[in-house]
Structure formats: structure tokens, C-alpha cells
Amino acid sequence: MENAIEVRNLVTYYGDREILKNISFSTLQGETTVILGGSGCGKSTLLKHLIGLLKPMRGNILIRGKDITLMEEEELDEVRKKMGVLFQGAALLNSITVSDNVALPIREHTRLKESTIQIMVRMKLDLVGLSGFEHLYPSQLSGGMKKRAGLARAMALDPKMLFFDEPSAGLDPVTAAGLDELILKLKHVFKMTIVVVTHELSSVFTIADDVIMLDSGEVIFSGTLDQLKASNHPRVRMFLERRPEKETYLPEDYFRIIAGD
């Protein structure tokens, strides 16, 4: 199988702080890859690099064989049209209705007739189970519905790849499970390549084919779901068994820290 995404030696900084330290991995076409990790491990930053929102300091990102770090903005836009992104807060445009949100990429990138666009919008909304909500504004939707609408918009141009940033964040377990089911459905029906960034273990076990685990900017695990369960890397075990982090400094160090020395 072909590689959908290949990341080579990615290094990035925010100011002086090194966020991603020499990351390399690849994901397969048609599979669901979950990027797992605790808060602040750099997984959202990694996602922003994969969709071309941030440029790395060093390293290459190949999307279907083409290096997006070397591309000009207009070339990059062509790549972006072939991928859909669901942001953490869904990021629907609040000033327009749900159906206009879904229609937005179609209107901007194609010259289809308005009647055709309307049919496409209704199909996409039906796919995510939001038929009948076309004329509401995003502020009138619940959190789960917003995510579904955001997903419909991400799917508007029938992308080959879908990216999810924390799909279950802020949702109740039932709604989150519904969203996981939707992700599985998309994978099986449309054979999409899916990348999900999350820290939610239950959804990892439901949707993942492959897992990449990050810890403070480094890849500490990369492999299939079964390999993850069998892994005996201490950080991976801590994450899987939900064990809290041990105090990392000795009492005398602690004294030095609070004394401000």
C-alpha cells in the first residue's frame, strides 16, 4: 500500500521552545491513523503542520508523495482542496447558516449551478445526520451537531483525506461514540485516509488502525493498535493505564524551586 502522509525529521519551534523534536512517521492510504498523546505534547501543532497551516523549521512533509513544505501558497491550496479538516470547535463561520457553511468550499472552488450546490449540501448534511437543520445558524446548534456540521463541510469537496482535531473533546460519551461511528462509516464507505488527533483512549480503540504516540515532542510509539496494547514502553503504559505522573524532583530540588534560586 502507498503512503498517504510521510513526515521526515520534522523540527519546529515556538520562539525558543522546541515543540516537535525530529519527528518521522508515515501513514498508509485508506487507513485510520490516530495521533495520541497527552496535553501539550505537540500533537495539535503536528496536525497544523500536516494541513499546511504552519511551516516547520526543518524537515519534510510529503502528502501523497508531494512535499508540502516546499510549496507556494497557491500550490498548497490545490492540495488543501483534496483534504478536509474538522477543527476542535468545528470552526463554522458564525455569520452564515449551516447550509451556507457546507456550500462555502463548493461555491469558492467550483462553478456549479446553485441548484446543484443545494443538492450536494443536502446530501452531505444527510450523511452526517443533520437533515432539516440547513437554515439554522451555528450558534443555534449543540456541540455535537456543530461537529457534525463541520464534518459535512470538511466532506464538501469529497476529499481523499480527512483530519480530525480532538473530535470527542467537549462531547458527552454518547455523542462522542456517535461521532466515532461516523468516522468508521466514512472510512468503510468512502475508503478515506483519516488522521485523528486525540487523547481519548476509548475512541482510539474504536477507530484506530495505526497509532502514533507523542510525548513531549517525540514519537515514542508507532505501530498497530494491537502492538500498542502489547507495548511495554513505560510512558505508553502510563497512558493506557491512566496512571498519574510521578513527582519528578527530589525534596531538595523542590525547596530550591520554591526558594526561587
Partner 1 sequence: MEALKMPSIAENICGLIGRKAILRLKDIHDASKLINDIFYWTLLSPLKGKRLRFRASISEMVKAGYHSVPIVALISLFVGIILALQAAYQLRRFGALIYVANLVGVSITRELGPILTAIIVAGRSGSAFAAEIGSMKAAEEVDALISMGINPVRFLVVPKLIALMVMLPALTLLSDCIGILGGFLLSITALEIHPYNYFQQTINALLIKDILTGLMKAWVFSIVITIVGAYEGFRVGGGAEEVGRRTTASVVLSIFLVIVFDLFFTTLFYFFT
Judged by beta carbon, residue 157 or residue 204, the one nearer partner 1 is 157
Choose between 48 and 64: whose C-beta lies nearer to partner 1.
48
Identify the residue whose cell numbers are 450558534: 139
What grid cell was written down for 148? Answer: 457534525
Sheet strands side by side (includes 58-63): 17-28, 3-14, 58-63, 66-67
Cβ atoms of 213 and 219 closer than 8 Å: yes
Tell me the CA distances in angstroms from 165 to 50, 198, 222, 256, one per residue in order.
12, 7, 19, 39
Q: Which is nearer to partner 1, 43 or 153 (CB)?
A: 153
Least separation in angstroms between CB 47 and partner 1? 10
Report in angstroms how near the CB of residue 163 gets to partner 1 at its nearest: 8
Residue number with CB closer to partner 1 (77 or 158): 77
The distance in angstroms from the start CA to the end CA of the chain is 56
Per the CB < 8 A criterion, the answer to whether 37 and 24 are in contact is no
Q: At what angle do helices 143-154 and 173-190 cross, to 10 degrees?
A: 20
Nearer to partner 1, 75 or 181 (CB): 75
Based on CB atoms, which residue is closest to partner 1, 146 or 235?
A: 146
Q: Which residues pair with 5 in a beta bridge?
A: 27, 63
Would you call 130 helix, strand, or coil by DSSP? coil
Indicate the residue among 60 and 110 with the shorter CB distance to partner 1.
110
Q: What angle do CA 186, 190, 196 make, to 5 degrees?
A: 45
**Shortest Cβ distance from residue 168 to partner 1 (Å)?**
17
| Residues of this chain that bind partner 1 (CB under 8 A) | 48, 51-53, 73, 77-78, 80-81, 83, 85, 87-89, 91-94, 104-105, 108-109, 153
| Cβ neighbours of 250 (radius 10 Å) | 9
Minimum distance, C-beta of residue 195 to partner 1, in the bound complex (Å): 13
For the bound state, the minimum distance from the C-beta of residue 192 to partner 1, rounded and expressed in Å, comes to 16
**Residue 74 beta carbon to partner 1: minimum distance, rounded to whole angstroms:** 9
Contact 9, 53 (CB under 8 A): no
User: Least Å distance between CB 80 and partner 1?
Assistant: 4
Q: Rounded to a whole number, what is the largest CA-CA distance in the chain? A: 72
